[in-house]
Amino acid sequence: MSSLASRMRQWATEQWAALREARSSIVATAYGVSLLVHLAILGMLTVAGILMGREVARSIEASIVDTALPDLERLDATELLETDLEATLDPILSKTAPRFSPRIVEDIAEPDPELQLDPLSVAPSMLLPSATTLSTRVQLRGDGAEHVDGVEGAVDRLALEILRQLDKGRVLVVWMFDASGSLHAERERLAEHIGKVYENVLARPEGSLAHEGGLLTMVVAFGSGRKAMIDEPTDDTAAIISAIQAVPLDETGEETTFQTVLDVARRWGSFKKEKQPFRTMAILVTDEVGDDEEKLEPAIAAATKADMPVFVLGNSALFGRSEGYTDYTDPKTGQFYRRLPVRQGPESVALEQIRLPFWYQGPQHTELDAGFGPHALSRLAATTGGIYFVTRMGSSRPTFDPSGMREYRPDWVSAGQYRAAASRSPLRSAVLAAAQITQQNLPGQPSLVFPTAGTPQFKEAMERNQTIAARVMYTVEEALGPIQSASSYRDRETSRRWQAHYDLMRARLLAVKIRCYEYDWACAQMKVNPRPFTNEKSNAWRLEPDTEIHYSPSAQRAGEEARELLERVMTEHRGTPWAVLAQRELRDPFGFKWVETYVPPPPPPSDNAGAARKKNQPNANTPPAPVPKL
């Protein structure tokens, strides 16, 4: 019996061991299968992710961007500030209303007739001045902008670019000169200096391409038309200088800048002489944007096809403005003209700044240097691999350190790309909308000095100036709507330029809004309760800035927000046009207070003054001399 029990226990032990071994095998197999299944799933997910990424990339590349600006919800600002004076005047758009650059021409027009080749009487050989020292500063081609010391400094830099081109092969340099009268004196200076540059280039060791006819030059003048100043490209330095000096004066006031680049690219972009190919580089000398901006994209396409970099010697653009002014002396008559209009901006495709007057006496900052060239010319240079040389800065307006302005570079893209990018950004759309609303002939700031309170003259002056304040207020309310609606997108914007635009615009609009309401409130108080003078010599009332905002608690909170934003712009964008404008707005408090004052009466007219005015009046039969067109 015990033997049987012993055998049964042994059998049970063996069976249990076999069962455990089988179970271990099954578990191992299950883990293995599970592992294989999971690895397979991960592999499929990886492959699917890669394929999906490629598909997304393809869909992004092929997607059509809706360039329409999104509808922005208007902000009801009555909760912030309210007034009993209705502002019902409609905005009146002026000629300076902003617009995008002209429509891009998709198809390049047929080539124009060949440039006129007028025989040139070559002046006798000239003794060239001693060579200048070339700048050795490194410049990234295609970066778009470089500040230099006048046209002479730009030409010295161009010598370095010519040498770089010569290292790659034979070079044809095509100089394109704006023939308008405003550049007459500059062309004379440039003709004298260019000989030094060519002497520098020819000073290379004997045997270089420059000594073997490998450096040729052509000179082209342009205004309403175009004219080649030399029969054919030449290496005669004296002939080049004479050609520059012989550029005829164009009095039409029209600059076909981009058509000229287009013609040069087609005519000399693939130049060969004696079957030897030349690399062409174009140099454009001008002080205005040009009147044929619709030819910008075709000019870029032609220059790019010819592998022809375009270098530009031009002005600094005006910050957020299209039209600037320049003094001019007529080279024929010697007559001096002050502040003739010239188109020198803006630095971007569209106007990106509001246009509102500053209150109180002081600079209006209507002409600030943008630190970059006008958009169309800057894009032409950057896209073709050239450089825009800022050779002229405003002599009587604030300028800015180029190194500090580099991160605020405008978007040098086509008008279509610019609009598409703006349409995808509610913040940028709001900035452009607000800028457009303010581009109109506003009446300026209302008067701050009034006659004795309670008199008919006082009431008349009060009503007239309250209407002016209401007119400004209406425009500010319109512009502030889209800006306030886009506030949630401020911190999502990564561009320093657009951040500065938005913060400054919002701060200035709030500040002007508060000033308009405070002005109206102060006028209403004086109309209801006319105040007597406490000083017997006083004869007028003057509104002065006051730190206290009287209109309402919400206006006080808005004033605090405006101050914080202005201080933020001054701190975060120091050394830029935005900081200058913020500092000017913050110079005076937003409130008003009445101060009695004395205004001397105007002097009585004298007979001598009348005789002098009559003497200086031109003869009625003599027509006034026409103002030159630059």
Answer whether the bond into residue 530 is a cis peptide, omega within 30°: no
Q: What is the pLDDT of residues 567-626, one digit of tens each?
A: 999 999 999 999 999 999 999 999 999 999 998 888 877 656 555 555 555 555 556 666
Q: What is the pLDDT of residues 211-254, one digit of tens each?
A: 677 899 999 999 999 999 999 999 998 999 999 999 998 888 88
* Model pLDDT, residue 110: 36
* Model pLDDT, residue 196: 76
Among residues 389, 360, 307, the alpha carbon closest in space to that of 544 is found at 360
Q: What is the pLDDT of residues 472-511, one digit of tens each?
A: 999 999 999 999 999 999 999 999 999 999 999 999 999 9
State which amino acid sits at residue 355. R
In contact, 532 and 594? CB cutoff 8 Å: no
Domain with CATH 3.40.50.410 in the chain: 116-317+370-413
* Model pLDDT, residue 213: 78
Tell me phi and psi for residue 453, to 5 degrees.
-65, 145
- How far is the CA of 174 from the CAs of 221, 232, 386, 579, in angstroms? 11, 11, 13, 40
Euclidean distance between CA atoms 346 and 407, whole angstroms: 18
Tell me the angle at which helices 296-305 and 375-384 cross, rounded to the nearest 10 degrees.
20
Q: What is the pLDDT of residues 65-99, one digit of tens each?
A: 332 333 333 333 333 333 333 332 233 223 233 32
Paired tokens of 151: 């046209």
Token match 């009555």: residue?
Answer: 78
Task: Quote the Cα angle for 129-134-136, to 5°.
Answer: 175
What's the 3-state SS for 580-619? HHHHHHHCCCCEEEEEEECCCCCCCCCHHHHHHHHHHCCC
> Within the chain, which residues score under 50 in pLDDT?
26-28, 49-142
* Model pLDDT, residue 285: 93
Residues 6+ apart with CB under 8 A from 9: none
Supply the pTM of this predicted model. 0.72
Assigned CATH class of 116-317+370-413: alpha beta
Euclidean distance between CA atoms 401 and 397, whole angstroms: 13
* Model pLDDT, residue 190: 84
The region, left, alpha or beta by phi > 0 then psi within -120 to 50, assigned to residue 371 is: left
Tell me phi and psi for residue 419, to 5 degrees.
-65, -40
The helix or strand, by DSSP H or E, that contains position 311, with its residue range, turns out to be strand 310-315
Residues 6+ apart with CB under 8 A from 137: 157
State which amino acid sits at residue 505. M
Pairing mode of beta strands 226-228, 215-222: antiparallel
**Residues recorded for the chain:** 630
Q: Is 215 helix (H, G, I), strand (E, B) or coil?
A: strand
Residues 6+ apart with CB under 8 A from 276: 170
| Torsion of the alpha carbons at 286, 498, 384 and 249, rounded to the nearest 10 | -10
Residue 547 DSSP label: S
